[in-house]
Structure 1
Amino acid sequence: MLTSLDPRITRLHLPDAPPSIEPKEAFDQFETYEAFHQKKDGTAFTYVGPVHAPTADVAFLFAKEQYSRRFPCTGMWVAPTRAISLTRYVGDTESVYDFVTEQLPAQAGPEPDESVQQAEAYARGEEDYAIFHLKKRGKAHVHAGMVRAASPEEALLQAKAVFGEQRPVVNVWVVRWADVLTSDEDDRDIWSTTPEKKYRDAIAYKVQDRIDRFKLEGNK
């Protein structure tokens, strides 16, 4: 029997050796998804944060509730975290593309026409990839554009060819477009009830006038 300086432990008559414990099964954890938000038409989608969800559809709903209730929103994308490939981080005045040393293979002969290019791309298993740039540490990744490639590694090389002159680029995310769940025109009504979300801005309340008056009086 286990004895202790605490008599309450001794009174429990616990065995001196702990019983064998069977290993627990792995917990059923929700997958993480990354959410991207568009404030208004024509602007780039910007990363706003993660959500945990069992499916992409549920992740979209969670992201909508979490990240678009307080601000104007015209569109949202969600992608599983596991689907995102990322580069190293560099300094705020550098470009990570300068450290991507591999090159795309050069094409021999004349440039093929578009139909031949499409056939070759299909044969190589090329897909669309979304490219996101981080311009400064502490900011958010912003959608820079799309490239076509057969792998995330090749997509990064394509991104260097297309966006490599942009500076600074502290970090790059590469996301296979097939893994991204996007909003479309039919989804716009989920934000239409309060498109500007003014009811949550302090400036929309009369109390803001009192705050401004209080600050003005305090400075006299």
Structure 2
Amino acid sequence: MLIRMGDQAARTEHLADHAAVRVSYDTVAEEYATRLHDELDGKPLDRALLTALLEQTEPAGPVADLGCGPGHVAAWLAAQGARTVGIDLSAGMVAEGRRRFPEVEFREGDLLELPAKDGEFASAVALYTIIHLGPEELIRAFTEAHRVLRPSGLLLVAFHMGAEVRHLDEWWGHDVDVDFRFLDPARIAELLEEAGFAVEMRMERTHYAAEAETRRAYLLARRG
């Protein structure tokens, strides 16, 4: 395969970006898990969407939490009776998840190369995880999600709305190096459809009192 120098340079840059995200989340993993372990208790709309996803998931079908962090969403899904697999880039987050939620299976892996077999999952969620990808990486992430889902499997995606990039070099008193990219729902819907999904639901909401002051979007898409 011919690799152009520009392509190789871009791949090197992406690997460096992902490494910075990984190290940043490793650094805050314990505090992140402690602070956010019960965040769904205060998010009724999120719980309703997750419930709707489960109601449309084939019985006993495994559910993937892509970019699961310390696994609190995967654990909530498991508490509703789902068999869940959490996948995260950060080894620190995966370790926190395994320690706190033994009922969930955890795997370390990248959204662009998911550690999963073709058609392994009946449905999947990706909540505030694509915000760490570069614009040119989104289609690859959605193509990977399509690969690991079964035909007619659902994918629930959530992200901050907008066009800005917020950079953090300090997070809860820890030194980090991570970007949070705000995204256009219409563009995300286009990319999902390009990857082979049909978008069935779009929802927007403002932030809850305990959240960062951003507007959030949710898309529910079905694999073709």
* TM-score band w.r.t. shorter chain: under 0.3
TM-score (norm 2): 0.24
Higher strand share: 2
TM-score (norm 1): 0.25
Higher helix share: 2
CA radius of gyration, larger in: 1
